[in-house]
Amino acid sequence: MKTLAVISRKGGAGKTTLSVNLAIAAHLAGRRTILADIDPQRSASDVLRGLPAVVLARPLGAGVGARRRRGPGDRPPVDPGRRPAAPDPGRPHGARRLRLAGRGRRRAWSRLPFPSESRMNLLSVSGSLRAASLNTALLRAAQDLAPEGVTITIFSLRDLPLFDQDLEDEGDPPAVAAWKEAVAAADGLVIACPEYNGGITGVLKNAVDWASRGKPAPLAGKLCCLFGASPGITGTVRAQDALRLSLRRAGARTEPQGDVLVGQAHTKIIDGALTDERTIEGLRKHLAGFVEAVRT
């Protein structure tokens, strides 16, 4: 599981510090968030060590409500012989500086790339509930073709109820809570997208709608990999275009690679197994490119 740690140092910023941290978490959403108050005496590098993706929020001075200008007497005397300060030990190697809008200057380190040595957990779903679904068969093939160190878990959408805000107001049903938790915990999403009547299936759209809810929404910032199979010659091109639009409106990101459109899939998937060598190689390259996009 990739974790986003938002770390605040105890000091005069108080509640404002926490609000800034939450803003950073929202900006880089899509990963489980940990809010932790760190004792000033504890080195930030001790906290950062071992975390795969970190944002360090460092307030400068008091909160916005209690902010005051420093007078000449507040500045410590400058020693002419003092050496330049050593590099900040809390700054992750290679991290870029990220500036947030708002009153007062606040800085944070952008998230680190996904460590190449860490295992990656991808969540996959099929937009078809049929037992002999061609698209679910593509997901099983993807499990076998995943790069080394990558695990793809298939999540069934069968038990997910239709989205209903009245139902949501009463508290997410167990199936919805399990779906949201699985999306939030995954490093990325792999979606097999069928095409019904030239568009996205109701099953898949319903899953997107549920995962777009919440603060932060599980889909926000999540990188998604799409492909689809159809007996038709054009594959699922129109459904994938519609799915990309829905995912982007929900705050998710779609993979930077091209489309994988498995047309005439009934001739390439036999007895639930992908047998076409050209399609196998194309799916392998597609997954490798997606994994590389998640790591960077």
Residues 47 and 140 occupy one common structural domain: no
CA 165 from chain centre, in angstroms, equals 24
- Asked if residue 81 is part of any domain, the answer here is no
pLDDT score for 78: 53
d(CA 142, CA 240): 18
What gap in Å lies between CA 184 and CA 222, rounded to an integer?
8
Cβ atoms < 10 Å from Cβ of 148: 6
> Are residues 165 and 62 both part of a single domain?
no
Quickly tell me which residue has 């037992």 as its tokens.
131
Strand partners, 7: 36, 56
> Does 245 lie in the same domain as 216?
yes
**Nearest residue to 143 via CA among 129, 124, 169, 120:** 124
Within a domain: residue 231?
A: yes
Domain membership of residue 80 (yes or no) is no
- Quick one: 101 and 161 in the same domain? no
Tell me whether strands 53-58 and 3-9 are parallel, antiparallel or unpaired.
parallel
115 is a domain residue: no
Residue 20, pLDDT score: 39
CATH of the domain at 172: 3.40.50.360
Q: Are residues 103 and 129 in the same domain?
A: no
Is residue 83 situated within a structural domain? no
Total domain count, the chain: 2
Indicate yes or no: pTM above 0.75: no
The strand pair at 150-154 and 120-126 is best described as: parallel
Q: What is the distance between the alpha carbons of residues 112 and 87, in angstroms, rounded to a whole number?
A: 18
d(CA 221, CA 192): 19
For residues 236 and 287, state if they share a domain: yes
Same-domain status, 18 and 125: no
Same domain, 151 and 47: no
Q: Tell whether 136 and 270 lie within a shared domain.
A: yes
List per-block mean pLDDT (blocks of 10 residues) for the chain, which spans 296 residues.
41 40 44 41 46 37 40 53 51 38 36 63 97 97 97 98 97 98 97 96 98 96 96 94 96 83 96 97 95 92
Tell me: do 100 and 143 sit in the same domain: no
Give CA–CA dist 202/160, Å, rounded. Answer: 11
- Residue 263 domain-assigned? yes
Instruction: Give the Cα separation of 190 and 243 in Å (integer).
Output: 12
* Single-letter amino acid code for the residue at 139: L
**104 and 212 in a common domain:** no
Same-domain pairing of 104 and 211: no
Range of the domain at 60: 3-75+93-109
Q: Is residue 171 part of a domain?
A: yes
In the block, residue with structure tokens 């803003």: 23
Q: Is residue 138 part of a domain?
A: yes
pLDDT of residue 190: 97
